[in-house]
Structure 1
Amino acid sequence: MSVNVKTVPTTPYEGQKPGTSGLRKRVKVFQQENYTENFVQATLQAIPEPGGAKGATLVIGGDGRYYIPEALQIIAKLSAGAGVSKLIVGQNGILSTPAASNLIRKFKATGGILLTASHNPGGPNNDFGIKYNVSNGGPAPESVTNKIYEITKTIKELYIADIPKVDFTTIGSTKVGDMTIDVIDSTEDYVQLMKSIFDFDALREFFKSNPNYRILFDGMNGVTGPYGYHLFVKELGLPESSVMNFKPLADFGGGHPDPNLTYAHDLVERVEKEGIDFGAASDGDGDRNMIIGKGAFVTPSDSVAIIAHYAKAAIPYFQKNGVNGLARSMPTSQAIDLVAKQQGLEHFEVPTGWKFFGNLMDAGRCSICGEESFGTGSDHIREKDGLWAVIAWLSIIAYANKQKLATSVHDILQLHYKQYGRNFFSRYDYEEVESKGANEMVERLQGQIKSGELKGKTFGNFKIAFVDDFEYNDPIDKSVSSNQGVRIVFEDGSRVIIRLSGTGSQGATVRLYVEKYSNNAAEYDADTQKALKPLIDQALAISQLKEFTGRDTPTVIT
């Protein structure tokens, strides 16, 4: 049975250019007349051929933030108007980003529309986002996001199906004209995926043999709360006290759902105060993670390197499928490179953005990868996966305990440093700075690169070996990604990276990364900030960050 499709006139809005992470703006921006409708219509029209939107199967879900219920109804009406065949929707619109990627792949869907602004705050005065993922489960490539943007600049009409309000609260299948809407359990498919990757019997045995070993997972009132509860409480039989903030809230409980030492401070305080052995957190949409233990913080760079080191020994998925290669984003420390070299594996340095890893994975050349921005993952899906990383770490702990190597997070870190050396690493985030000053700072550095005036100069005890604006030549699709971040490498191998992030909804976020390698065992337990202070001081001098942004201190240090 067909439905009546109304043609509604509309006018374009400026600035609807999606990045790798989709379109992120304040909720009030999305609430403007036809603003959301324009972007969703453009997304549907940009779905790649063959087929496009007509006859498509789309996975729909999000991180539970404010405005999702309204956006779901808009997507349903426009999808029916575009001739979409089926929508697979998480109950109440809840789907973590990695769970959505899994569903796209499992059901061979055309793609997915994800309603998330990831780690950005939620609520009526904060952020909302819409992101399109393609058929491999990964973020849309630039060919698709550019097409979406071009359509938003000229859009004149919306094609809205005249359908009743859809009930997304009840699991089941309904028919809306020729379109089927399947509302599914948000967690079940993802939990089954995790059980196919990890040895849950070994994890249960570890906790049974170590009854006093305590873990605490912080869902940060984001989407992974129900997933964490299902995995840790229902599957592993741990007490409910093992999870905190596990109910998704539209405003994330007033918090900032970004798993780092600053925004996950309640978790950090409890781990130290209560002597909890293992702590972990995930962000609003579930693709990021933080791993800590009493007296120990695992940098994302170290985390992915340690997972790669233990992958075949501790994780059945890699015992079965092998490890085909490793990769990291350019700002991420070089710790995983050392693992690749020792294990004889191919490794890659790519720009920030998960789509670059996806290309390598689809070609069978990358199995484990990570970004320094708390994103870690593998080729089981095409997104970073916060809970996957948490369970990988628990699997490593269970394995190390069984082998009588170590049990604490701190000791596992020290074991790794003794074998590979330590890459001291930190990131300074300056959030919502005035865009003009941030851009001028980067343009000045780019000018110095072109003129060659920085090469060979000495700052403090650091002499610059080379400096560039990172460019990536994709070995799979042969695309070239330029201007991916200013990279300053010193003669001792230390690095400073400066780049602007596109994940904020307003202003600019300046990210300053510093890295120093040491193979001196006496330094392995040193405080990161103290070890890096001389390099950080020179990084601030070279970038003139304070002069251009007016900021004395960063918003977040990780």
Structure 2
Amino acid sequence: MNRTISVSPFSDQKPGTSGLRKKVPVFQKTGYTEAFIQSIFDSLDGFEGKSLVIGGDGRFYNREVIQTAIRMAAANGFGRVLVGQGGILSTPAASHLIRKTKAFGGLILSASHNPGGPTEDFGIKYNISNGGPAPEKITEEIHARSQVIDRYMIADFDDVDLDLIGTFEAGGMAIEVVDPVSDYADLMETLFDFDAIRTMVAGGFKVAFDAMHAVTGPYASEILVRRIGVDPALVFNATPLEDFGGHHPDPNLVHAKALYDLMMGPDAPDFGAASDGDGDRNLIIGKGVFVTPSDSLAMLAANAHLAPGYKDGLKGIARSMPTSGAADRVAAKLGVEMHETPTGWKFFGNLLDAGRCTICGEESAGTGSDHVREKDGLWAVLLWLNILAARRQSVKQIVEDHWAEYGRTYYSRHDYEAIETDKANELMAALEETLDTMAGRQTGSMVVERADSFTYHDPVDGSVSRNQGIRIFFEGGSRLVFRLSGTGTSGATLRVYMERYEPDSARHDQETQAALAPLIEAAENLAGIAGRTGRTAPTVIT
């Protein structure tokens, strides 16, 4: 039996760059989760009898929301739901499943790299039929609907056994609980030379992987251990936990410090990697060398032809605006298109669907290709392993060879987290007011060449996205970017991105923060971060 239940609108259900993210107690408010899911369904047309994929990263409250979403899908007229066993489905695996089964769309329950637990973060994101995040047009419709929602529809039937693989029927809808790993693992075997990687590993090449007690644990166990032969003792934190073991499942040098320390130690493995809460981000570390996400994108693009799935070359490369220009130089040498987009994977979707790019990435540790429509942590790890097997060099050698050929881009991101939202907005507004007069201004040893607020004109559908971050370019090729993040759940996060291009290989051995010192000083001088926020140092430096 289907029920229609009255509900009042909630004023805070505006999706960000990755869906709606709030603390668990917010989603637990009576009717809150149901109102948002109904707002999604009410914003869509033509799904009667179609398939919906549902999965999540295993965080606290994941199973409860999946049961609610299944019942609401039945009441709203979907014909089939596919759900990952145990409620588990990495974000890239969900994208692949949507595409493979030609589903109408999918609900991904995750707050990505944010912490999990009874008082921590949860999120709901809708992905469209191409497997990618809903474009702004749809998320704006969802938000508009959430402001006037007055009812939701839900079916009455018992909870589905999410741990039992098989097909069930309830509420007039088919419910398929599927292996969350196998389809994705099979896809990876079509892209990469697993034989070559297996041979390298069997020859003594040691791979360490930190799943951070998040969703990629089962994927790493199947792909890295069972299919490739990686030592299971070097696959850390492989059991997904609702609270990620009490840690942030964020693969950066702060939250994956144990892996970093291992890779910088005297008995380091040859290759180290990690992935985040929902499996779409990556961390790449060689023996004694950390590879920045911006550099990793450029190096993967330059070497992708070594993997079977990319042997015919690239159609183009795309990067988010805050990501460094390292990949631009690869695109120029390859003679392919280079696209600079706003932050948010949905902006890559149009380019990928139109065949305008093959590989894309963001500085926030997300890299991917046209095999799905999401960033993909394990994909990046496997492409690195394929390149290492083909080139028979260390990570450090590959990095240094790349810098020698293309120059080095010193790059860092300083995050100021949980700033009072009003103060963060005032800082950005004050910066924007000075853009027209900033050219020629000197700060320390640096002179501003030009400054703007980034506006993106989509070359595929003609849409325009404004106010995507403030860019300040300096004479000599350095750049500062200021933007507010849309992935947090408390206050605002100010992100300051700094990059400096150095073509001289004799200057490629500087410590990053030291190399960027003039830019760090310029950021404070131009934005007045300390004075406006009270923060004298960033919360996190990556």
Instruction: Tell me if both proteins adopt one fold, taking TM over 0.5 as the criterion.
Output: yes
1:445 aligns with 2:436: no
Contact 1:20 1:140 in 2 (8 A): no
Matched, 1:333 2:324: yes
The answer to whether 1:487 aligns with 2:479 is: no
**1:324 aligned onto 2:315:** yes
Asked if 1:381 is matched to 2:375, the reply is no
Deviations 1:349-396 (A, max 9, x none): 111011111100100010001100000010000000000001111111
Distance in 1 (alpha carbons) for counterparts of 2:263 and 2:478: 32
Match of 1:7 in 2: 4
Equivalent residue, structure 2, for 1:226: 218
Whichever residue aligns with residue 541 of structure 1, its letter is N
How many residue pairs get aligned? The number is: 541
What's the C-alpha RMSD, in Å, of the aligned pairs? Answer: 0.9
Letter of the structure 1 residue corresponding to residue 284 of structure 2? I
Q: 1:352 aligns with which of 343, 358, 364?
A: 343
Aligned-pair CA distance for 1:512: 0.3
- Is residue 435 from structure 1 mapped to residue 421 from structure 2 by the alignment? yes
Matched residues in 2 for 1:149 and 1:184: separation?
Answer: 31
Aligned mates of 2:503, 2:456 — CA distance in 1: 29
Name the residue aligned to 2:193: 199
1:310 is aligned, of 298, 303, 312, to 303
Determine if the alignment matches structure 1 residue 511 to structure 2 residue 495: yes
- Aligned 1:266-277 pairs, distance under 5 A: 266-273=258-265, 274-277=267-270
Contact 2:481 2:497 in 1 (8 A): yes
> Aligned to 1:529, which of 483, 507, 513?
513
| TM-score when normalising by structure 2 | 0.99
Q: Please report how far the alpha carbon of residue 77 of structure 1 lies from its aligned counterpart in structure 2 after TM superposition.
A: 1.3
Residue number among 399, 404, 426 corresponding to 1:418 in the alignment: 404
**Is the CA contact 1:13–1:35 (under 8 Å) kept in the aligned structure 2?**
yes
Cα contact 2:470–2:481 (8 A) shared by 1: yes
In structure 1, the residue corresponding to 2:516 is in which secondary structure? helix
Cα offset for 1:181?
A: 0.4
Q: Tell me if structure 1 keeps the 8 A contact 2:75–2:171.
A: no
How far has the Cα of 1:220 moved from its partner? 0.5
Unaligned 5+ runs, structure 1:
none
Alignment of 1:79-118 (within 5 A): 79-118=73-112
Residue 65 in 1 paired to residue 59 in 2? yes
Contact 1:197/1:316 (8 A) holds in 2: yes
Q: Does 1:20 align with 2:14?
A: no
Q: CA deviation at 1:473?
A: 0.4
The alignment partner of 1:154 has SS state of coil
Does the CA-based 8 Å contact 1:414-1:525 persist in structure 2? no
CA-to-partner distance for each residue in 1:427-467, whole Å, 9 max, x for gaps? Answer: 00111111111110000011111xx2211111111111100
The answer on whether the counterparts of 1:59 and 1:88 sit within 8 Å (CA) in structure 2 is yes
Tell me the CA shift for residue 242 of structure 1: 2.2
CA contact (8 A) 2:432 2:470 kept: yes
Q: Distance in 2 between matches of 1:333 and 1:374?
A: 12
2: CA distance, partners of 1:126 / 1:14? 20
Q: What is the CA–CA distance in structure 2 between the aligned matches of 1:25 and 1:95, rounded to whole Å?
A: 20
CA distance in 2, matches of 1:223, 1:487: 35
Q: 1:235 aligns with which of 202, 227, 233?
A: 227
Counterpart pick for 1:454 among 438, 442, 451: 438
Structure 2 Cα separation of the partners of residues 319 and 272 of structure 1: 33
Equivalent position of 2:29 in the other structure: 32
Q: What residue ranges of structure 2 are gaps of 5+ in the alignment?
A: none
CA distance in 1, matches of 2:486, 2:211: 24
Q: In 1, Cα distance between the equivalents of 2:448 and 2:17?
A: 32
Q: Where does residue 238 of structure 2 map in the other structure?
A: 246
CA distance in 2, matches of 1:89, 1:120: 23
Q: CA deviation at 1:158?
A: 1.5
TM-score by length of 1: 0.96
Identity %: 53
